[in-house]
Chains A and B, each alone.
Chain A
Amino acid sequence: MRIKQIVIWLLLTSYLFALDATMEIIKNKSTLPTISYAISTDTQIEDNLDSKVLALVKKDLLVSGHFNNNDINVDNNYENIADYKTLKTNGIDLYLVLQLKKNPQDNSVVVNTKLYDVNANSLVLSKSYITSSIVRYPFLSHKIAIDINKYLKAPSIEWMDKFIIFSRYLDSKTSEIVVSDYTLTYQKVVVKGGLNIFPKWANKEQSEFYFTTYNYEKPTLVKQNLYTTKSEKILSSDGMIVCSDVSSDGTKLVVTMAPNSQPDIYIYDTINKLKTRITEYNGIDVGGSFVENDTKIVFVSDRLKYPNIFAKKIGQRGVERLIYHGRNNSQCSTSGDYIVYASRETDNEFGDNVFNLYLMSTYSDHVRRLTTNGRNQFPKFSSNGESILFIKNDTKSYLGIIRLNYNKSFLFPLKSGKLQSIDW
């Protein structure tokens, strides 16, 4: 009965949070359940894989915003029942034990897990996870964290198991496209050689992606299958071409291109292979994305003599200014009726080179600042709109995640190269 009450309250809570993401901030962390972890005494595995898996589970649950982590020493024999008394004494609500085993025949790794509800003196979840390749261990951790979170019926963190696709600059006119997990721990290069930029998932299944390559006579938009490497030229243009958004059904692309030497926004229909020009301003129009059920485009333009965010109904003439804050707002991303944009805090080269991210709704004038320092750019909403992925470039490149409903952000460093663009 109590579990049901908790579920109802959690669901109600998450619903309330979703009502106005720009306004609500949770500040009282002490009310979250506290979880402790252990690796079983019989785990013997190379390369500290047990510690790596556990560290990522902890990180995942921390990023979720639904748990407090607290490690304490208790008997951690996998076959024994948890030491409820010690755990309770230390204020632990949940206790997770991991047991890792490697199969010497095929090098696969199995992780057995047990989750105890300490207050109920009960084992509540017992699951096993397997991977055939050690390099994919981050997905072991993400699956474990997702299942623990799911057991509590907390707001979904399924996005942790999704791929991130990004481009990183390696040298002048040289970049490669990489698929990774959200912490950048797992990485696999999927396009290399020359300048390959602006990767964008072509569908929700993440089986295909678009990217711009400079390896033909003109900048060319290519679609590539992740699993077969089969690629197809979609469009090319003098000057530049970028796919900045894909419609929710995957059939239409928002593309910035310049067939007439002029960077404008077009919608390309992948079914009938026709493109429609959306903007016709004699300056810069760039970075369009769908909003309001794909009926409207939000984009960046310098029509006020500095970059700012505008919107235009598809098929109509008028252009609406959306942002009345800042003097250099040159990037935006949308989710439903919400817009996140990057704003340079000064509009000249001698000012502080700080780029911050701001969140607003198309139905409200309220603007919420999401970052406070450094170069925070290229914001992208998660599929459920609850998180924002972004690039932070300082002395190193970082992938950042902002958990909107929890007022938390996390940075994951890129070991080499400079992040150019991201999608998830």
Chain B
Amino acid sequence: MKKIMKNTILSICAIGLLAGCSSKDVEYDNTATNAQSVDGKAANIAGSNEQSVDDNANVITNSLKAVTNEGLNSVESEIEGNTVLLESVHFAFDKYNLTDQMREVATSNYNKINIVQESYNGLKVKLEGNCDEWGTDEYNYALGLKRAKTAKDALIADGVDAEKIVMVSFGESNPICTQKNTTCWKMNRRVDYRLLP
């Protein structure tokens, strides 16, 4: 009923226009001096603000290795000539709990970190949570953080001091595989372990 009323109203409007208007209210503003500038705010936008990118990994070199045949990947950290390979832990779609298999990977990482920390007391572990592209972006950043938190809890349970762990979520901004298939998406649902000085 409402719709019919609206259509009637619109029809009346159109009839009004078609029938013509007797008013001759002309809005003149067409001399060059009176031209309306459209520059406004746009004319004054400053140039881009170049952000400096901090790189605090100046002692340890981290490089991400993608091992595609197993659908897994790992981060290789080099400390004064010694190489530490920490496997990433992977997650199911939209989940942030570790499977038994991934819990073993987390423990394996702990064992390696524990050995290195005995030689380098101030060493920290950075856990980077990542997601596949299937989510909405802000939720994905939170999901990546929950994955990093799960990996952190596993390290603490195994014996790492909580103060020696930092976390960050990259959401879907840090894919290691950009193909559109389930293997690729699985690789991107991960937490990477990096060593920091």
Interface residues of A (CB under 8 A from B): 1-3, 5-6, 9-10, 12-13, 16-17, 23-28, 31-33, 93, 110, 112-114, 117, 119-133, 136, 139-140, 142-143, 151, 163, 169, 172-173, 175-176, 179, 186, 188-198, 206-207, 213-219, 224-229, 231, 238-240, 242, 244, 256, 258, 261-263, 283-287, 300, 306-307, 328, 330-331, 342, 344, 347-350, 353, 355, 377-378, 420-421
Contact = CB atoms under 8 A, between A and B. Distances in A.
B142 A10 contact: no
B137 to A, nearest CB: 6
Given A2-B21, A128-B36, 17 more contacts: A24-B6, A125-B26, A133-B43, A143-B36, A191-B51, A214-B170, A215-B53, A227-B44, A229-B48, A240-B169, A242-B141, A256-B142, A263-B145, A331-B136, A349-B94, A378-B136, A421-B138
A348 B135 CA distance: 11
Interface in B33-53: 34-53
B192 to A, nearest CB: 12
Nearest to B36: A129
Interface stretch (B7-15, B71-79, B81-89, B109-117): B7-15
Contacts of B9: 9, 12-13, 16
B139 A213 contact: no
Contacts of B27: 124-127, 151
Contacts of B94: 306-307, 328, 347, 349
What does DSSP make chain B's interface, helix, strand, loop or mixed? mixed
A3 B21 CA distance: 6
Contact of A112 (B30, B45, B170): B30
Contact of B22 (A1, A123, A217): A1
A194 B53 contact: yes
Nearest to B152: A261
B70 interface: no
Given A229-B46, A261-B152, A286 B10 contact: no
B38 A128 contact: no
Interface of B: 2-3, 5-7, 9-14, 16-32, 34-54, 56, 93-94, 129, 132, 134-139, 141-146, 148-149, 152, 166-171, 173-175, 182, 185
A172 B175 contact: yes
Contacts of B49: 190-192, 224, 229, 231
A31 B31 CA distance: 35
A188 B20 contact: no
A225 B41 CA distance: 12
Contacts of B44: 227
A2 B22 contact: yes
A121 B26 CA distance: 12
A215 B52 contact: yes
A122 B24 contact: yes
Contact of A128 (B25, B31, B182): B31
B173 A197 contact: yes
A26 B22 contact: no
A120 B21 contact: yes
B50 to A, nearest CB: 5
Contacts of B143: 284
B52 to A, nearest CB: 6
A330 B136 contact: yes
- Interface centre among B48, B141, B148, B152, by most chain A C-beta atoms within 10 angstroms, is B141
Contacts of A186: 42
A217 B56 contact: yes
B48 A176 contact: yes
Contacts of A349: 93-94, 132, 134, 182, 185
Contacts of A207: 41
Contacts of B13: 6, 9-10, 13, 31
Contacts of B135: 330
Contacts of A132: 37, 39, 43
Contacts of A261: 145, 149, 152, 167
B119 to A, nearest CB: 24
25 contacts: A1-B22, A13-B6, A23-B2, A26-B6, A31-B14, A123-B26, A139-B42, A172-B175, A179-B45, A191-B48, A194-B53, A196-B51, A213-B51, A218-B168, A225-B46, A238-B168, A240-B145, A261-B145, A261-B152, A285-B142, A286-B139, A307-B94, A349-B182, A355-B136, A421-B137
Nearest to B37: A130
- Interface centre among B22, B49, B93, by most chain A C-beta atoms within 10 angstroms, is B49
B54 A217 contact: yes
B141 A2 contact: no
